[in-house]
Amino acid sequence: MLHSEGTTSEVRDGHGIAHPQAEVRSGLPQGPQQLSLEDLIRLAGPLAESYFEHQERAHQRELQFDTEELRQEVAWRKTLLLTGGVLGTAVLGIAGLLFYVGRDQTALDLIKLVVALAGAAFGGYGVARGRQRETRGDE
């Protein structure tokens, strides 16, 4: 039989032997009472606060990840454009030199080769990006 909250009570087993048992104190009302709205808010407040803190931290991590991913993408595109510009300038310079010395056909063949290679590289890059987006689920 249980007595008031926070005291020791006796529980009798099937043989009639009394065993002392300490009650566990809690902030919740004992017995068949229902919790009031104020009690529920008071008890759920720390849980809700913790939940929203975790959500905010998860959102911040996601933003940091997305920012880093964009930074890497911008750096990659700058490198790609710079490399393409340097190579294009070099090919045009060599082709101009070949035109100047009278090797017109060689200069045209060089330009055709570079344009074909650049088109293949650009097309392959586009196909690879399309497949990467399909696997990630992006649109």
pTM tops 0.85: no
Which pair of structure tokens corresponds to residue 38?
A: 């104020």
Residue (of 127, 128, 119, 108) closest to 84 by Cα position: 119
Residue with tokens 């586009």: 126
The answer to whether residue 84 is domain-embedded is yes
pLDDT in tens, 68-123: 999 999 999 899 889 988 988 998 898 888 888 988 899 899 989 988 988 888 88
CA within 13 Å, CB half, 78: 6
Q: State how many domains the chain has.
A: 1
pLDDT in tens, 44-63: 888 888 999 999 999 999 99
The answer to whether residue 26 is domain-embedded is no
Residue 48: which domain range?
37-136
| Residue 30 DSSP label | P
The answer to whether residue 17 is domain-embedded is no
Radius of gyration of the chain (CA): 38
The answer to whether residue 92 is domain-embedded is yes
